[in-house]
Chains A and B, each alone.
Chain A
């Protein structure tokens, strides 16, 4: 396999081009050529044993640490990844790539169709978590890394980590699976559907062809983000942060302005999201999460895998106030792994910050990730 690598200075990212590779998707569609935008941090050691793949969540990107040129802010997990951080880049070589179907430089609905000057838009084939992982595995291969030390992710990133354990157990040593599940639940699909309907009922969306007029279905996309954002928090966190406090006023307006701070906050979240995320990408990626389902198949896949997977270590973490991916979902994974006598650790962290906890200040999360990585790395070094 020949892969072309270039650097996109505007995106401050490496781009890997996979040409004429005919990537067969789960949907049976074929993408003949595609590209992945990725960033690396730290240095690959001589034995190539210290590589970690970080998988991003639904609206994440390759900017896991350092500067994000799209938002002008710090990377989405810079509190976790960096020199002397829990995922220590003095020690580990960290790779993070924008998923297939994403909108930060990888092939997705926003990008031009192969050999044409028109973007995919709604013509982009349906991608799944399995497809994303397949694309990532090609990237890892082309970086000449035979074995990843770890695959780490939260939420949609956790789904990818689990998929790695199922599809490529022989290419990894452990996974850290945070705030995820074996399947996307009915309630989660329902919330995604509301988000998608918000986008698709925006007249500017025009069956995904909004880019032809250089327009963006801002209203739809921002409403989708507002709904999703609620699901990432918890009632207690919202109450603690906003209560019923009013926004820039002393009395209620008896109108429909953003009287309450929580309204103003959500509007801001929606608005700033539109500036950095593509509406079609949002449709495709939410769909990929919806289609994720290993409820019936995970145990069988692990037990009867044709690839060796006995060596895999699992760290599963959940949060008490996460109602999108509640602890019970994580425990199902733990139960199945324990029933197969696999090496699994599990911790439910007590916090009121909801699903978003994995991105926020949670000292216990830092401790277990750092300890899990350091101790397991020391064991392979022996």
Chain B
């Protein structure tokens, strides 16, 4: 029940990040719940990928464009910038190569929406500190040997990675374990302690077009040129 509530909460926050009439790819779309919500409330055109066969079949039977497949292998088939938003909800920590996935998200989509449980939450830190065992919590309910979550990271880790990859954080929403919502960027102190779950709206850094003026033509390039 808690898990479902947290996903619903996640979805409604994701919805607030999305403009009307956009094209969206939902990675790990399940039976199409979020796609349905975004089609109904945001008039979105949605596509989905789902690894689980039964969930994918359900989504297709419900009329959604869903490809049964593995995001880690199948994202390469999508063209650059073919979606306005690519959504990865609560799955980044389960990916084999999270960094590659992150750059794929922003290759396929103009913007990416990523949500994940924060491993830096005080309850998790406390559990590890006191018991000396890998933490098991409501949002991360698995024991270490059978967890699908193979890459644990904290908000700080994520911010560092974004910085390293030249990813701009356009918006970020944190949730406490009681469901209280706040803007991560505005509450700097203690954010990594109290954020239970985080949702980020990401895009690549926009470089100012560099104009190269020759005697005949004007060239513009949307990237940094060395020398």
Contacts and interface: CB of A to CB of B under 8 A. Distances in A.
Contact of B60 (A334, A340, A368): A368
Contact of A368 (B57, B78, B79): B57
Interface in B164-217: none
A372 B63 contact: yes
A368 B150 CA distance: 33
A347 to B, nearest CB: 5
A339 B63 contact: no
Contact of A371 (B47, B60, B82): B60
A364 B57 contact: yes
A361 interface: no
Interface in B33-86: 47, 53-54, 56-58, 60-69, 74, 77-79, 82-83
B100 to A, nearest CB: 18
B77 A375 contact: no
Main secondary structure of the interface of B (DSSP, over half): mixed
Interface string A317-357: 00000000000000100111011110111111110000000
A347 B83 CA distance: 22
B68 A371 contact: no
Contact of B63 (A340, A341, A347, A376): A376
A175 to B, nearest CB: 14
A338 B67 contact: yes
Interface residues of A, number: 29
A252 to B, nearest CB: 41
Contacts of B74: 335
A294 interface: no
Interface in B67-113: 67-69, 74, 77-79, 82-83
A367 B58 CA distance: 8
Interface in A17-51: none
B65 to A, nearest CB: 5
B53 A347 contact: yes
Contacts of A147: none
A315 interface: yes
A345 B64 CA distance: 8
Contacts of A209: none
B53 A348 contact: yes
Given A367-B61, A371-B63, A375-B63, A347 B56 contact: yes
Contacts of B56: 347
B79 A371 contact: no
B65 A344 contact: yes
A370 interface: yes
Interface residues of B, number: 23
A344 B77 contact: no
A339 B79 contact: yes
Nearest to B73: A331
A344 B67 contact: yes
B60 A345 contact: yes
Contacts of A331: 69
A265 to B, nearest CB: 30
Contacts of B47: 343
B67 A375 contact: no
A335 B69 CA distance: 11
B51 to A, nearest CB: 11
B38 to A, nearest CB: 15
Nearest to A373: B63
Given A341-B82, A350-B53, A315 B77 contact: no
Contacts of B69: 331, 334, 346
A339 B67 contact: no
Contacts of A347: 53, 56-57, 60, 68
Given A338-B77, A338-B78, A371 B67 contact: no
Contacts of B62: 371, 375
B79 A341 contact: yes
Contacts of B64: 345
Nearest to A314: B65
Q: 8 smallest A-B Cβ distances: which pairs?
A: A375-B63, A371-B61, A335-B77, A346-B67, A367-B61, A341-B82, A345-B60, A338-B77
Given A341-B82, A371-B60, A372-B63, 9 more contacts: A335-B74, A335-B77, A338-B78, A339-B78, A344-B67, A345-B64, A349-B57, A364-B54, A379-B63
Interface of B: 23, 47, 53-54, 56-58, 60-69, 74, 77-79, 82-83
6 contacts: A331-B69, A348-B53, A348-B68, A367-B61, A374-B63, A375-B63
